């Protein structure tokens, strides 16, 4: 059948290009392996061209709004501004893979263009990686097994739609309204951070493959030192870009999502951080060996770049396979490509580890056993087979470490730069291992499953609880971040930063430590002084000693490296990338630690001390704001001005006023903590009432009526000038549910970060007369609550007197009880008394309206035992005021974090440039 209006040619062309890309990558791989460089180059260029063409074609489809294509239909709609087309492109899995391939091709073409002596080996590995990535886009089905995700799949061809009646209509594109518009990009991704964060991160991911390829090439040739020089700039390029990508992710989370911070130790974040840490360690080992005649720690030097790339693959596996499942707050995709992602990962794990072995025979032997263990997977014992496979790989690595890559260089001197660089790198790797371990717990569960009965047996035998835990195989990473991550990461970081501070001053080979001591003395004193100032300024608890130690260490590293930078400055930045990057890294962590440790949630709920309904208000971090009210909040007064809609956002305008001090005169009467107080002397209010209560206020146990009426609520300040307006928003998101987005006010020394925790996006529903749905609550005498702007208190209960009966329409035999309700709005106070009526054996519902207040009451039950009553309260829309629940946090000194990020990235690129120049001069020298 001929379908009308479809761009079927585009689907055919696209699939042909994908297939061409895959085949040409395969040809390139084989040619480079066999040493046919010129054919390999041509094949790879073909591959790169077809990949770029695929990407271009998808953009054509996006711009043409071709909704017959599933990928377009899912990620675009007519409303979406075209400036988000990039985000839409990588909004799905297929686009993510294409973006990765794009950068990978760009880097590989650079390698081709430079054509150094390692071209054959490096291009073999890069082409092989491309081949595997190409498979991810094939979208071929073998029965139910799906190989790859086809970006050119038509909606009518999607497995879910096969056989549905509409797919048999030739004119489905025009006759079915759903095809007039797409589903649209998830609004969460319609954000400028989403246009720059993924490409940077993926460029970083792609960059890890080049050092990997050099290391594999070195192992292949068994030339274990010659690769170091050319691999160095690539490694630092990866460090800089990947680092920037990760931090942009943090910035996105901070600026656009309501996580309440920039780092949450989420699996997604962790799995991009870990490769970076390993790459940094690897790059430093390269530096060590570049400066030596006899190589040292060869195993680590080769293994870390390999590991960094494998961890990138592992990260892809974790986040795209759906294996993290229930254990993360982030959502993960389960797109049915887990088996092939796993195959991809394991293939490169095998390549990386087998190549470590020196002899072809041993490689074959280990490879054979590994393959045999994978046969277990095929036989259905998935976890067992993979476990056996990984054991073989570990054995290969251990063998390489102990025999094949053993170096017998002399031990470095204690005060040599290389020794401390090595120790620092080792610590980074340890940190990476720990993070990987905690992130991988959901994966471990899969491995534990087959041994469940063994652990149960062990638990019975030993009675240990931990055995039961293992037997249940449903462990989850802890939520207590201090124990899960900081317990290990903070001490490691302290050591790392102390080393960063010291090592910069050490020389290669050996240093006279006495000269170094005088050089770091300044940094030592400066950081001690600044730490002292911080301790003086901010409140730190005793259990925060590790944090303070980390701040000290980061300051020491920053001062020391800055000092080095200034001392070595000779008008040229060239060799100074390293101290600059180190200052940046230290400042980043310093800003992160200080702003997180000292974050001040200023939106504490102050309604709590009036309302006696709730006893447990200890962790109230959210503030209820009625429209028009002006409430004190931290150093400000805040007023919720209005709600308005702009496109897909509902904005809540919050005015922030300066707080001017409040003075009280002797004899003033205030209401505080639910009691009445009289001022003993003239004074200016302290921030907290508790600070004043001892000396300045006299408690009035039995206030007179006049005194009560005079009493005002105690405040510690009054609103002054309007300083600024923040508009935290709620994004209307039909697909994902409405999502809050923060609004942040940036100052030089702090950020004020606010977001809406709860807010109405539409007016509430009412009945025909304008009454809102009633709310039922249980009250005792003395309880109070806010209904809109009215403070409702249950003053007393009384029995109706006989003379009142007629007025209230009661029969003689009725039992009736009146609840005396105090209603208070501003200065107006009135008492109303709805009735609880029992006639015979039944309760007569009695609706009572407090006229002029817009409130209605009905008492449904009275419980004599504890003298509580159940009452429904209705509010009329005419008196209702809109309200929101918001949270506001002050992050002090957070700008150091961003300054650090910029310096770190800048420093990394200076290092790349320096190494590139060095390479040129060293080549010329030969």
Partner 1 sequence: MKRSHLVLLLLVASMMGMFISFITSTSRSVGFDTAFADPGVEYKVSGTLVAAHPVEYDAQVNTNLTKFHLQDKQGDIREVWLQQSKPTGLERSESIDLYGYATAEGHFHATDMLMKCPSKYNEQNHLLETDV
As a whole number of angstroms, the distance between CA 318 and CA 268 comes to 8
Residue found under tokens 């570049």: 290
Minimal distance, residue 178 CB to partner 1, in Å:
6
The nearer residue to partner 1, 258 or 895, going by C-beta atoms, is: 258
The nearer residue to partner 1, 130 or 875, going by C-beta atoms, is: 875
The nearer residue to partner 1, 8 or 617, going by C-beta atoms, is: 617
Minimal distance, residue 607 CB to partner 1, in Å:
7
Minimal distance, residue 258 CB to partner 1, in Å:
8
Q: Which residues contact 602 (CB under 8 A, 6 or more apart)?
A: 633, 634, 635, 636, 888, 889, 890
As a whole number of angstroms, the distance between CA 904 and CA 911 comes to 11
Question: Hey, what are 327's tokens?
Answer: 């254990």
Minimal distance, residue 365 CB to partner 1, in Å:
29
The nearer residue to partner 1, 848 or 883, going by C-beta atoms, is: 883
Minimal distance, residue 282 CB to partner 1, in Å:
17
CB 576 within 8 A of CB 910: yes
Question: Hey, what are 165's tokens?
Answer: 């009646």
State the CB neighbour count (10 A cutoff) for residue 299: 19
As a whole number of angstroms, the distance between CA 336 and CA 147 comes to 9
Minimal distance, residue 469 CB to partner 1, in Å:
5
As a whole number of angstroms, the distance between CA 883 and CA 897 comes to 35
Q: Where are the alpha helices (DSSP H) in 329-464?
A: 338-354, 360-378, 382-399, 417-439, 441-448, 452-462
The nearer residue to partner 1, 414 or 513, going by C-beta atoms, is: 414
Helix axes 338-354, 119-135, angle to 10 degrees: 160
CB 717 within 8 A of CB 637: yes
Minimal distance, residue 605 CB to partner 1, in Å:
5
The nearer residue to partner 1, 540 or 786, going by C-beta atoms, is: 786
CB 336 within 8 A of CB 146: yes
Minimal distance, residue 699 CB to partner 1, in Å:
28
As a whole number of angstroms, the distance between CA 683 and CA 756 comes to 36
The nearer residue to partner 1, 56 or 466, going by C-beta atoms, is: 466
Query: CA 554, 555, 558: angle at the middle one, nearest 5?
Result: 85
Helix axes 298-321, 417-439, angle to 10 degrees: 20
As a whole number of angstroms, the distance between CA 425 and CA 423 comes to 5
Quick check: helix, strand or coil at residue 412?
Answer: coil
The nearer residue to partner 1, 357 or 624, going by C-beta atoms, is: 624
Q: What are phi and psi of 415, to 5 degrees?
A: -100, 50
Minimal distance, residue 160 CB to partner 1, in Å:
5
As a whole number of angstroms, the distance between CA 922 and CA 925 comes to 5
As a whole number of angstroms, the distance between CA 807 and CA 452 comes to 76
Terminal-to-terminal C-alpha distance of the chain: 68
The nearer residue to partner 1, 411 or 721, going by C-beta atoms, is: 411
The nearer residue to partner 1, 161 or 863, going by C-beta atoms, is: 161
**Beta pairing, strands 815-825 & 835-839:** antiparallel
Question: Hey, what are 870's tokens?
Answer: 């159940």
The nearer residue to partner 1, 670 or 756, going by C-beta atoms, is: 756
The nearer residue to partner 1, 696 or 858, going by C-beta atoms, is: 858
Is residue 144 packed enough to be buried (19+ CB in 10 Å), middle (13-18) or exposed (0-12)?
exposed
Quick check: helix, strand or coil at residue 881?
Answer: coil
Q: Find the Cα–Cα–Cα–Cα dihedral 898, 903, 906, 911, rounded to 10°.
A: -140
The nearer residue to partner 1, 484 or 908, going by C-beta atoms, is: 484
**Beta pairing, strands 636-646 & 649-661:** antiparallel
Minimal distance, residue 867 CB to partner 1, in Å:
19
Minimal distance, residue 318 CB to partner 1, in Å:
15
The nearer residue to partner 1, 158 or 838, going by C-beta atoms, is: 158
Q: What are phi and psi of 795, to 5 degrees?
A: -80, -50
Minimal distance, residue 229 CB to partner 1, in Å:
25
Question: Residue 653 — left, alpha, or beta (φ > 0 → left; ψ -120 to 50 → alpha)?
Answer: beta
As a whole number of angstroms, the distance between CA 164 and CA 809 comes to 67
The nearer residue to partner 1, 162 or 378, going by C-beta atoms, is: 162
């Amino acid at each position: 059948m001929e379908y009308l209006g479809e761009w079927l040619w585009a689907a055919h062309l696209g699939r042909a290009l994908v297939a061409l890309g895959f085949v040409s990558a395969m040809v390139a791989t084989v040619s480079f392996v066999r040493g046919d460089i010129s054919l390999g180059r041509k094949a790879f260029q073909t591959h790169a061209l077809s990949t770029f063409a695929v990407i271009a074609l998808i953009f054509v489809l996006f711009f043409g709004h071709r909704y017959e294509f599933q990928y377009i239909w899912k990620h675009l709609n007519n409303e979406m501004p075209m400036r988000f087309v990039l985000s839409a492109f990588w909004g799905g899995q297929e686009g993510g893979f294409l973006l990765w391939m794009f950068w990978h091709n760009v880097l590989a073409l650079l390698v081709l263009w430079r054509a150094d002596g390692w071209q054959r080996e490096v291009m073999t590995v890069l082409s092989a990686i491309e081949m595997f990535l190409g498979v991810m886009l094939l979208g071929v089905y073998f029965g139910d097994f799906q190989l790859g995700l086809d970006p050119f799949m038509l909606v009518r061809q999607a497995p879910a739609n096969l056989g549905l009646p509409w797919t048999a209509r030739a004119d489905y594109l025009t006759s079915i309204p759903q095809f007039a518009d797409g589903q649209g990009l998830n609004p969460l991704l319609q954000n400028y951070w989403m246009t720059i964060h993924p490409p940077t991160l993926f460029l970083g991911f792609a960059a890890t493959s080049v050092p990997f390829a050099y290391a594999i090439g070195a192992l292949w040739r068994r030339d274990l030192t010659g690769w170091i020089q050319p691999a160095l700039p690539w490694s630092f390029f990866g460090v800089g870009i990947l680092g920037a990508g990760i931090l942009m992710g943090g910035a996105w989370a901070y600026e656009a999502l309501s996580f309440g911070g920039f780092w949450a130790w989420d699996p997604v974040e962790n799995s991009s951080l870990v490769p970076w840490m390993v790459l940094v360690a690897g790059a430093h080992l390269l530096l060590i060996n570049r400066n030596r005649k006899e190589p040292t720690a060869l195993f680590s030097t080769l293994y870390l770049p390999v590991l960094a790339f494998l961890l990138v693959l592992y990260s892809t596996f974790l986040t795209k396979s759906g294996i993290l499942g229930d254990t993360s707050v982030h959502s993960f995709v389960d797109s049915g490509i887990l088996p092939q992602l796993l195959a991809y990962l394991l293939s490169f794990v095998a390549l990386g580890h087998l190549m470590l072995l020196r002899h072809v025979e041993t490689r074959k032997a280990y490879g054979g056993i590994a393959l045999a263990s994978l046969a277990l997977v095929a036989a259905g014992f998935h976890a067992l087979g993979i476990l056996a496979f990984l054991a073989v790989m570990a054995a290969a690595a251990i063998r390489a470490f102990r025999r094949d890559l053993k170096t017998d260089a002399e031990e470095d001197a204690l005060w040599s730069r290389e020794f401390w660089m090595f120790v620092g790198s080792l610590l980074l790797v340890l940190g990476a291992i720990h993070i990987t371990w905690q992130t991988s717990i959901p994966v471990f569960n899969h491995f534990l499953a087959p041994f469940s009965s063994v652990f149960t047996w062990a638990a019975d035998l030993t009675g240990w609880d931990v055995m039961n835990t293992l037997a249940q195989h449903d462990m989850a990473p802890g939520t207590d971040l201090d124990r899960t991550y900081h317990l290990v990461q903070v001490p490691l970081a302290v050591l790392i930063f102390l080393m960063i501070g010291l090592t910069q001053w050490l020389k290669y080979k050996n240093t006279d430590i006495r000269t170094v001591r005088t050089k770091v003395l300044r940094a030592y004193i400066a950081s001690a002084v600044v730490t002292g100032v911080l301790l003086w300024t901010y409140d730190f608890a005793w259990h925060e000693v590790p944090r303070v130690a980390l701040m000290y260490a980061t300051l020491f590293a920053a001062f020391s490296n800055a000092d080095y930078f200034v001392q070595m400055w000779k008008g040229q930045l060239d060799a100074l990338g390293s101290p600059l990057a180190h200052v940046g890294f230290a400042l980043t962590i310093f800003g992160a630690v200080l702003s997180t440790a000292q974050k001040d949630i200023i939106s504490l709920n102050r309604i709590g001390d009036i309302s006696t309904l709730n006893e447990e208000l200890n962790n109230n971090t959210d503030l209820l704001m009625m429209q028009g009210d002006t409430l004190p909040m931290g150093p400000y007064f805040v007023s919720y001005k209005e709600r308005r809609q702009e496109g897909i956002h509902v904005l809540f305008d919050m005015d922030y006023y300066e707080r001017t001090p409040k003075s009280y005169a002797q004899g003033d009467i205030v209401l505080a903590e639910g009691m009445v107080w009289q001022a003993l002397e003239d004074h200016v209010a302290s921030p907290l009432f508790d600070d004043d209560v001892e000396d300045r206020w006299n408690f009035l146990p039995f206030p007179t009526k006049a005194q009560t009426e005079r009493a005002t609520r105690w405040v510690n300040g009054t609103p002054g000038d309007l300083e600024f307006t923040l508009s935290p928003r709620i994004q209307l998101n039909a697909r994902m549910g409405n999502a809050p987005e923060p609004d942040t006010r940036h100052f030089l020394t702090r950020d004020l970060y606010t977001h809406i925790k709860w807010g109405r996006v539409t007016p509430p529903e009412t009945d025909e007369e304008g009454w809102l749905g009633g709310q039922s609550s249980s009250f005792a005498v003395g309880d109070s609550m806010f209904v809109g702007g009215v403070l409702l208190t249950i003053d007393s209960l009384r029995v109706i007197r006989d003379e009142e009966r007629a007025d209230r329409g009661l029969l003689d035999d009725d039992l009736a009880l009146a609840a005396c309700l105090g209603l208070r709005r501003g200065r107006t106070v009135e008492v109303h008394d709805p009735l609880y009526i029992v006639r015979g054996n039944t309760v007569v519902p009695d609706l009572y309206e407090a006229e002029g207040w817009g409130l209605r009451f009905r008492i449904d039950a009275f419980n004599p035992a504890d003298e509580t009553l159940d009452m429904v309260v209705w509010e009329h829309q005419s008196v209702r005021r809109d309200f929101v629940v918001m949270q506001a946090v002050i992050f002090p000194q957070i700008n150091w974090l961003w300054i650090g990020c910029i310096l770190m990235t800048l420093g990394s690129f200076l290092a790349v440039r320096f190494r590139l120049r060095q390479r040129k001069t060293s080549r010329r020298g030969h």
